[in-house]
Amino acid sequence: MRAESGRFHVGREQVEEVKALGRASVTQASNTMIVQLARMVLLTAGALGGFSVSRLADWSAQSGLSPQLVIFVFIILGASMGYLLGSIIGRELTEQYRRIEQQIQDFDTTDLLLAAVGLVIGLVIAFLISTPLKLLRPTWLGFLAIVLVYGLTGYGSTQLFMTKRSDVHRRFGGMLDGPPGQPPDSLKFLDTSAVIDGRFQQLVEAGLLEGKVAVPRFVLVELQTLADSADELRRARGRRGLDLLTTLSTGPDALQVFEADYPEIPGVDAKLVRLASASGGAIVTVDHNLTQVARVEGVRVLNVNEVASAVRPLFIPGDTIRISIVKDGKEPTQGVGYLEDGTMVVVADGKQAVGSERSVGVTSVLQTSAGRMIFAKLAES
């Protein structure tokens, strides 16, 4: 399923697999290049070091070997040690490279620009200040003073500019991160359960879900996987989600796919928490466990079930309501009815009234993570 360019579109799972393999191949190639480069540099340094050691003493007289063989042995030993050390250092450099790359990806574009501008200005100021310091004697004292000035001025200027990032976000965030006037933290990311549930659409129409609503690419892939599942129930849920997204693929408020992925994170929920944390957005879900995890991680989350529970009519013991008792309860004498919003009402001694509409008095209200349940008894006529 596809829509026009700039609108929501559904890619095939095979295409996503190829893209993921491509990203993994590029990352693997970069890691291999770092390790191989470290090995080559240290192997060469080790070989030269071995040759230098072979010339420091008369090893031939001590070992009884020919000078050429001594040189060869020391070169091989030095090169071997350099190769092993290069492998260790290369892996450490690769790990640090990954961390730095991930940190750069997590940085907001505006923050990076402010930090770069602050650093440049700080270095220019340091250059002007440090010119007279070159006259200091001894020379090492002047050099140390210059290094200190560059470090302090660059760091201080960067931090000074970063303190104004909230003002820059408010004034220019729309040009850097999204449509004009839209703050970067207005992004709302739908998870798979929220898409299948579908009630988020009513929240958007009612104005209760402000900001831009987007579907991350990995959530879309999971929906595609569900729609292709051999299990009938999972297949129906996946197709329902894709059908709903297709109906929302046009118009001024059309949903768009958010192009982001974290191949190193296996679970979709964990990827969603990481994405919301990195972008400053919020998660929209009906999954209770995901809601709890996101809140523990300090990520803003909107649980649709909690919103639905909050807007349901409140009842307290003693209130009287009129409902249709439609079936028997679990206990032999109980009857069960439902309010218009779907809240279950368990009526004591209500079995005799099944199939009729009766007034009942509320005795207690039970609130659970899945919703609200009301216990009542038949009102006296």
Q: Give the residue with greater pLDDT, 21 vs 193.
A: 193
Q: Domains in the chain, please, with CATH? A: 26-162 (no CATH), 187-310 (3.40.50.1010), 313-378 (2.40.50.140)
Could you count the other beta carbons within 10 Å of the beta carbon of residue 137? 7
- Which pLDDT belongs to residue 169? 56
Starting at the edge strand found earlier in the chain, the sheet holding 282-285 runs: 256-258, 213-216, 188-190, 282-285, 300-303
Exposed/middle/buried for residue 182 (C-beta within 10 Å: 0-12, 13-18, 19+):
middle
Both tokens of residue 188?
């709302």
* Among 29-43, 73-87, 320-334, 345-359, the least confident range: 29-43
Smallest CA-to-CA distance from 263 within 94, 143, 105, 45 is with: 105
Q: How far apart are CA 215 and CA 190, in angstroms?
A: 5
- Which pLDDT belongs to residue 105? 64
Contact between 250 and 7 (Cβ < 8 Å): yes
DSSP string over 285-329? E--HHHHHHHHHTT-EEEEHHHHHHHHSPP--TT-EEEEEEEEE-
Contact between 197 and 239 (Cβ < 8 Å): no
**Mean per-residue pLDDT of the chain:** 77
Q: How far apart are CA 141 and CA 194, in angstroms?
A: 64
Q: How far apart are CA 127 and CA 233, in angstroms?
A: 68
Grade residue 336 by pLDDT with cuts at 50, 70 and 90. Answer: very high
Q: How far apart are CA 287 and CA 294, in angstroms?
A: 11
Q: What is the pLDDT of residues 251-305, one digit of tens each?
A: 656 677 777 777 778 888 888 888 888 777 888 888 888 888 888 888 888 888 8
Evaluate if residue 1 carries a pLDDT over 50: no
